């Protein structure tokens, strides 16, 4: 659970730490998750670039076939020019650790993808939420569901060994809102994810989940469009979030 508010900085956010707690609650109560590691402004281990990359790697390395893993990042995101020609739009996406000072000290999508490629084992499922700006393809996964429910395949990317599902806060060209809903600061996408699970239950398909999240955000005046991507091909009409 990575949530960065960037406290006492010009770029301070207000809902990201709340997002980690709210996601923990739904994973515990709805899915029975028991073990959590937190990296926030308030934890002893801070969400630095080194700690985020180490913790994601450790999560994957310590798994065995049959395990289900969850990774949340709530914080700032940014983008830069793609230099290795693996992006369909010529743009790399990045997340912003608490100690980042420039693009080079951010975490680029290529680094996240490489960790998954090197450490995700067959038979392991990783579900990731990225509530950040420019996050549509932040894990550089091969299969991406567009807003018309068409699956866009990136031929520059190979399938992952285990399955990865990722929901982003928005497209690669959009920003994700840090907002105030129900008397609490929260990421808008995280709020829509939790509300949808609470309303429709854990047997909802991933297609229904993302579509309802999009509708909820639109109805509340947000322009951002959450994206769904995966490391392997799957049936969007039957695949559920069940761990």
Name the residues annotated as catalytic.
Answer: 76, 133
Tokens of 12: 């301070």
Q: For residue 120, give both structure tokens.
A: 């995700």
What is the SS3 assignment for 12?
coil
**What's the rounded Cα separation, in Å, for the pair 243 and 49?**
28
Cα-based distances in Å from 70 to 33, 56, 111, 146, 219: 9, 10, 18, 23, 28
User: Residue 141: which residues within 8 A CB-CB, separation 6 or more?
Assistant: 113, 154, 157, 160, 164, 166, 229, 230, 231
Distance CA 141, CA 162 (A): 12
């Amino acid at each position: 659970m990575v949530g960065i508010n960037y406290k006492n900085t010009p770029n301070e956010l207000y809902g990201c730490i709340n997002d980690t707690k709210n996601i923990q609650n739904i994973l515990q109560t709805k899915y029975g998750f028991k073990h959590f590691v937190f990296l926030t402004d308030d934890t002893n281990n801070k969400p630095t670039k080194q700690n985020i990359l180490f913790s994601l790697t450790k999560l994957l390395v310590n798994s065995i076939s049959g395990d289900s893993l969850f990774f949340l990042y709530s914080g700032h995101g940014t983008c830069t020019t793609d230099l290795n020609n693996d992006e369909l739009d010529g743009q790399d996406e990045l997340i912003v650790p608490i100690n980042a000072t420039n693009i080079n000290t951010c975490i680029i999508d290529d680094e996240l993808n490489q960790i998954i490629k090197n450490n995700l084992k067959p038979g392991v499922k990783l579900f990731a939420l990225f509530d950040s700006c420019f996050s549509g393809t932040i894990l550089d996964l091969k299969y991406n569901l567009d807003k018309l429910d068409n699956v866009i395949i990136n031929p520059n990317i190979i399938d992952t060994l285990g399955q990865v599902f990722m929901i982003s806060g928005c497209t690669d060209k959009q920003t994700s809102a840090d907002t105030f809903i129900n008397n609490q600061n929260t990421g808008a996408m995280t709020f829509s994810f939790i509300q949808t699970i609470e309303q429709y239950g854990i047997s909802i398909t991933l297609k229904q989940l993302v579509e309802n999240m999009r509708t909820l955000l639109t109805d509340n005046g947000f322009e951002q469009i959450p994206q769904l991507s995966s490391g392997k091909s799957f049936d969007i009409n039957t695949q559920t979030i069940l761990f």
